[in-house]
C-alpha cells in the first residue's frame, strides 16, 4: 500500500480539502492517508472528519493516525506539510506585539518583515528535522510544502535538507480569476504567464485570442482606484511598476517601504490597509472552528467536492504520468536569470511521473527583479542566521527588510530583534 503522510494534520479544514480531494481521485485509491500532529486532540478530530468523508465518497483509501513522526513518514510516497510552529498563542502574538512597542505595525507577518523572519527562525529547525527523517525512512518521497514562509522553507528543504520538494501557494491559482472578477472582466480563456518569488510573483502576460489585456486591466484599475476597495496596494504597485502582483494587498503593504509609515498615517486610510489583520483572522478562525466542529465531526453524511488545491492533482500526475501544470516554488537553477541563483523562485512547472520540472523564464522586467531582490536579501540572510546560529545575521536580515528599515533606526532594529529572541525563548534555538 502506498502512503500519503500529512504533517500538521491538526489543521482540520485544510486536511479535509487536501485529503478529501485524494479520496475523490481515482488514481489515488488504495493509499494510506497517514496523519501526524503534535496536538493529539486535533489529530483525532481530523481522523473523525476524514472517516465521515470516507463513508460517503466510497473511497478505498485508509486513514491512520500516528503519534510517532518517523513512523508516520516511513514508506511515504508523498508528504504534505501544513505545520505552524508556535501557533497564534504565543508566537504570532509575540511577532506583532513586540514590534508595536517600537512603532512598527504589520498586517500579516507570516512571510517577510520582522514577523516573517522570526516565523522562519522557529520553523527552519523543525523542517530540517523532517528532512532527516525523510532521508532515513522515505528518501524518494515528494514533499509538498504549504507552510509559510514559503520561499525560505522550500529553499532550505531543497538546498540543505536534500528533499525532493515543491512549495505550493494559492496566490498563483487565484490571481487571474480574482483580478478579472474585481474589474468586471471575463477570465475564461485568458492565457497568463506568472513568475517571480512567492507572494511577489508577477502577472507578466494576460492575453486572450492573442490580444494583450493589460491596457484594459490598467484602465479599469485606474477607475476603481477612485473609490475605496480591498486591493488598492496592488493596483498602486501596478500603476507605478507596470505589472500586477499575485499576493494580496494586505500582504504587499508590508513587503515594500511605501505604505505603512508612522510619519504618513494617512496612507493607511488612503490605501485601505488592514493593520493587525492576521491576528484578527486567527481569532475569527478559532471561533469559527469552535462553531463548525460539531456540525462537521458529527455529520456521518459529510460530502466533499474536489477543491482547487494543487496537491491531489500533483500526486495524480506523478502516479498516472498525465502532465499537469502548476505554479511552483523551486530553487532558481537559472530559471529567472536576473534573480540570485541561491533564491527560491515561483515559476510555471510541469508535473508528471518524472517529478516537478520547472520552466525557464529568463529576465524579469528590471524593476520587478529589483523589487524581488529586496525581499530575497532578507530571505537569504534569514537562512544564513538559521544555519550558522549567528545572531548577527538575524540583525542583518531585519536591517535589510524593506518595511522594517524604512521605519526604524539601526539601534531600534537590533534592540527589537533582541527583545524578540528573548520573548520567543525555547521556541528558538540558542544564537550566539
Q: State the catalytic residues.
A: 170
How far apart are alpha carbons 182 and 195 in whole angstroms?
21
Q: Residue 334, Cβ neighbours under 10 Å: how many?
A: 11
How far apart are alpha carbons 197 and 200 in whole angstroms?
5
**256 annotated as belonging to a binding site for a ligand:** no
**91 annotated as belonging to a binding site for a ligand:** no
Of 64, 103, 3, nearest in space to 413 by CA = 103
Dihedral angle sign, alpha carbons of residues 386, 85, 273, 416: negative
237 Rama class: left (phi>0) / alpha (psi -120 to 50) / beta: alpha
**301 annotated as belonging to a binding site for a ligand:** no
- What are the grid coordinates assigned to 409, written together? 533606526
Of 240, 251, 247, nearest in space to 274 by CA = 251
How far apart are alpha carbons 360 and 187 in whole angstroms?
25
- What are the grid coordinates assigned to 377, written together? 536579501
Binding site listing: 148, 169, 199
Binding site listing for Mn(2+): 169, 199
Binding site listing for substrate: 148
Amino acid at each position: 500500500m502506498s502512503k500519503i503522510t500529512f504533517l500538521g494534520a491538526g489543521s482540520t479544514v485544510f486536511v479535509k480539502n487536501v485529503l478529501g480531494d485524494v479520496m475523490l481521485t481515482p488514481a489515488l485509491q488504495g493509499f494510506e492517508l497517514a496523519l501526524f500532529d503534535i496536538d493529539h486532540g486535533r489529530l483525532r478530530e481530523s481522523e473523525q472528519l476524514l472517516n465521515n468523508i470516507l463513508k460517503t465518497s466510497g473511497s478505498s483509501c485508509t486513514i491512520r493516525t500516528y503519534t510517532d513522526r518517523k513512523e508516520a513518514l516511513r514508506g511515504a510516497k508523498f508528504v504534505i506539510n501544513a505545520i505552524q510552529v508556535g501557533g497564534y498563542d504565543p508566537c504570532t502574538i509575540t511577532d506583532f506585539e513586540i514590534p508595536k512597542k517600537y512603532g512598527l505595525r504589520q498586517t500579516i507577518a507570516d512571510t517577510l518583515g520582522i514577523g516573517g523572519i522570526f516565523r522562519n527562525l522557529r520553523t527552519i529547525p523543525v523542517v530540517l528535522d523532517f528532512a532527516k527523517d525523510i532521508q532515513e525512512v522515505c528518501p524518494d518521497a515528494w514533499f509538498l510544502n504549504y507552510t509559510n514562509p514559503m520561499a525560505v522553507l522550500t529553499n532550505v528543504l531543497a538546498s540543505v535538507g536534500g528533499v525532493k520538494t515543491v512549495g505550493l501557494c494559492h496566490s498563483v491559482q487565484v490571481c487571474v480569476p480574482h483580478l478579472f472578477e474585481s474589474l468586471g472582466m471575463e477570465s475564461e480563456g485568458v492565457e497568463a504567464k506568472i513568475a517571480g518569488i512567492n507572494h511577489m510573483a508577477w502577472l507578466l502576460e494576460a492575453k486572450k485570442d492573442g490580444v494583450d489585456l493589460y491596457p484594459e486591466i490598467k484602465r479599469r484599475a485606474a477607475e476603481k482606484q477612485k473609490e475605496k476597495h480591498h486591493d488598492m496596494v496592488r493596483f498602486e504597485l501596478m500603476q507605478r511598476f507596470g505589472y500586477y502582483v499575485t499576493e494580496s494587498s494586505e500582504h504587499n503593504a508590508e513587503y515594500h517601504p511605501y505604505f505603512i509609515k508612522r510619519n504618513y498615517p494617512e496612507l493607511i486610510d488612503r490605501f485601505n490597509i488592514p493593520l493587525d489583520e492576521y491576528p484578527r483572522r486567527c481569532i475569527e478562525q478559532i471561533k469559527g472552528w469552535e462553531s463548525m466542529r460539531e456540525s462537521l465531526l458529527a455529520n456521518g453524511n459529510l460530502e466533499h467536492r474536489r477543491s482547487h488545491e494543487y496537491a491531489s492533482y500533483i500526486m495524480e500526475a506523478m502516479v498516472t504520468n498525465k502532465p499537469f501544470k502548476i505554479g511552483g516554488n523551486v530553487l532558481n537553477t537559472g530559471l529567472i536569470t536576473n534573480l540570485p541563483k541561491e533564491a527560491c523562485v515561483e515559476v510555471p512547472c510541469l508535473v508528471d511521473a518524472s517529478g516537478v520540472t520547472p520552466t525557464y523564464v529568463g529576465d524579469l522586467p528590471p524593476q520587478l527583479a529589483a523589487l524581488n531582490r529586496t525581499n530575497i536579501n532578507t530571505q537569504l540572510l534569514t537562512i544564513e542566521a538559521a544555519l550558522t546560529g549567528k545572531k548577527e545575521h538575524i540583525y542583518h536580515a531585519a536591517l535589510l527588510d524593506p518595511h522594517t528599515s524604512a521605519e526604524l533606526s539601526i539601534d531600534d532594529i537590533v534592540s527589537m530583534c533582541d527583545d524578540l529572541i528573548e520573548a520567543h525563548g525555547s521556541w528558538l534555538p540558542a544564537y550566539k
